[in-house]
Structure 1
Amino acid sequence: MISVRVVDNQEDLKKIFSIREKVFVEEQNVAREEEYDEFEDISTHFIAEDELGNACGTARWRFTDNGMKLERFAVLKSHRGNGVGQALVQAVIDDIRAKPKSEGKKLYMHAQLPAVSLYERFGFKKVGDQFEECNIMHYQMEMMNS
C-alpha cells in the first residue's frame, strides 16, 4: 500500500530531494541547476512511501499566473509499476481541489512522454506540440479544476 502526504519538515524534504537527484539528475541527466529552482520554498511538496515506510516518490505543485502547475513527479526505479505515480497524481489533485483559490482554475504540467498516459487517466489533455525541456521531450497537459 502506497501512502502519500504533504511534506512539512526538513527531514522529508531531504528525502524528496534525494529521490529527485536519483531520477532526474542521475538517470535522466538533467543538470542539477535545472532541477532545483527558486520555487522550492513556495511549492507544496509530496512524499510517497511504500508499505515499509520507505520514501519512493515525490511531486510538487504551486500557484502560477496561469493556474496551478504540477511538477517534479518522480518515482524511484525500484518502485515503478506499483501505483506510486497514480497515488501521487491523485494526492496532488486532491490537495489542489481542497484549496478555495483553485476553483475554476487550470491545472497544468509539462509531462514527459512516457507519463502522458498516466496523466490522461486523470483527465489531463495534451495541449500543443511536443517540446524539449532539459533534453527530454514533453507535452503540456491541462485540465480545468471544477
Structure 2
Amino acid sequence: MSLFVRLADWQADHAAIRMIRQQVFIEEQQVPADLEWDEHETSAQHFLVFHNDKPVGTGRITGDGKIGRMAVLADARGLGAGLQLLQFICHFACVEGQQSVYLNAQRHAEPFYAKAGFVAEGETFMEAGIPHVRMTRQLQEPAESA
C-alpha cells in the first residue's frame, strides 16, 4: 500500500479535486452542487492524497486556519488516507505559522477528528442538511532536528 500526500494547486489539479468532492459530497452525501463550490477555491491551499499513484482524497485550508472539504473516496476508506491527509494539512499550517486550526466536522466523523487532536466546541449545527460541530486543534512548533 502506497499512500502519499502533496500540495495541490486549484488550477493545475482541479479535475482530481472536483472528481473526489463530486463523488463524496454531491453524489454520496447529496450536498447541492451550488453549496459545494465556493469563493475559497482559488485562494485556499488544496491538498491531494494518493493511493498507488491514484488521487483518492482531498482537503484544503484557508488563510484563517479553517480546514475543510476533507473527502476520501469510498474505495480508499480504511487505508489511513484521511488521517495522513489531516496530519499533512496540520503540519503545513504549523510551518506556515498558524497557532491553531479549526474545522466543521460532520457529527459522525467527530471521533476521527478527536483521535487527531481536535476538540469539539459549541453546539451541533446544520450545514448542507448535515449535522456538524466545530472542532479546533492547537498546533505545536515542528521539532527541530538533533
TM-score normalised by L of structure 1: 0.90
3-state SS of the aligned residue for 2:38?
coil
1:9, CA displacement in angstroms?
Answer: 6.3
Q: Report % sequence identity.
A: 34
Displacement of 1:114 in angstroms is 2.2
* Equivalent in the alignment of 2:110: 116
Question: Structure 2 matches for 1:1-146, cutoff 5 A?
Answer: 1-8=2-9, 10-51=11-52, 53-64=53-64, 68-100=65-97, 102=98, 104=99, 106-146=100-140
RMSD: 1.2
Distance 1:80 1:8 in 2: 23
Of 25-34 and 106-115, the range deviating more from structure 2: 106-115
CA distance in structure 2 between the partners assigned to 1:81 and 1:143 by the alignment? 23
The separation in 2 between residues aligned to 1:24 and 1:9, in whole angstroms, is: 18
Distance in 2, Cα, partners of 1:98 & 1:8: 18
Q: Residues 1-36 of structure 1, C-alpha deviation per residue, up to 9 Å, x if partnerless?
A: 210000136342210111000100011010101000
In the TM superposition, residue 145 of structure 1 has moved relative to its aligned partner by 2.6
Q: How many residue pairs are counted as aligned between the two chains?
A: 139
Q: Deviations over 1:36-74 (max 9, x none)?
A: 0000011000011002x111000000123xxx1000000
Deviations 1:70-128 (A, max 9, x none): 0000000111111011011011001101113x2x3x31100012221111112110001
In 1, Cα distance between the equivalents of 2:11 and 2:68?
20
Structure 2: gaps spanning 5 or more residues = 141-146
Gaps of 5+ in 1: none
Could you tell me how far apart the structure 1 residues matched to 2:60 and 2:80 are? 17
